[in-house]
Amino acid sequence: MRNPYEVLGVNKNASKEEVKRAYRELAKKYHPDKHMNNPLSELAQEKFKEINEAYDYIMKEYENSGESQYNNSGNDFHNIRQYINRGDFSTARNILSNMNNRSGEWYYLMGLTSMRLGLYDEGTDFIKRAHFMDPNNMEYKMAHDNIINRQRAYSSKTYQYNQGTDMCNICTTLYCADCCCECCGGDLIGCC
């Protein structure tokens, strides 16, 4: 059997999703039903069989390994950063979720993807953990400090009410103003 990755036209480090996508495209192209009454139908049938065998082989490889194809090398994290830069946060998160060894870089990238997917509390926790694991990493420190500063800015924006002013005082003042307006022929509050 030929190299299954070559058959599907994917790289050995391709994600499971990339393998599935390549398989679907080739299966559509070489499906026997598409080549009926065609002199090349036998060739298409052989190619279709080869594609299915390659796909089955790769999927069994994923199942048998019991772990992700990613081993937390710097290159894998580089690939994940590329997904994040392209805005493909779901794929980056799926790849990260399948990793076993969780380093500071793993927590940082998981934090970024979580926050970009709207999971702010979870993302904050991941980034804080990355900073705790590697406090000398300036990228983690800046992200952590940014989160802390935003939380401080948000919590400091409390509304200051005038002491002694409550709803009863406001209603009484409006009622009195309405009565004065009505005495002069106007109407401040139409419902009273």
Shared-domain flag, residues 96 and 61: no
On average, the pLDDT of the chain sits at 80
Q: Give the CA angle between residues 34, 14, 113 to the nearest 5°.
A: 115
Shared-domain flag, residues 80 and 105: yes
What percentage of the chain exceeds 90 in pLDDT?
5
Shared-domain flag, residues 86 and 135: yes
Shared-domain flag, residues 46 and 103: no
- CA-CA distance, 150 to 11, in Å (whole number)? 41
pLDDT tens digits, 63-116: 665 444 444 455 678 888 888 888 888 888 888 888 877 888 999 999 999 888
CATH of the domain at 50: 1.10.287.110
Burial 3-26 (b: 16+ CB within 10 A, else e): ebbebbebeeebbeeebbebbeeb
C-alpha dist (Å) from residue 148 to 5, 128, 143, 186: 46, 10, 9, 53
Positive or negative CA dihedral for 24, 59, 51, 31? Answer: negative
Q: In which domain, by residue range, is 106 found?
A: 74-156
- CA-CA distance, 51 to 45, in Å (whole number)? 10
C-alpha dist (Å) from residue 181 to 87, 121, 167, 169, 192: 59, 52, 21, 18, 12
Q: Report the domain count for the chain.
A: 3
Which residue from 54, 23, 48, 20 is spatially nearest to 34, judged by alpha carbons?
48
CATH of the domain at 136: 1.25.40.10
Shared-domain flag, residues 165 and 184: yes
pLDDT given at position 69: 45
Residue 170, classed as helix, strand or coil, is helix
pLDDT tens digits, 152-187: 776 655 555 555 567 777 778 888 888 877 777 667
Shared-domain flag, residues 44 and 106: no
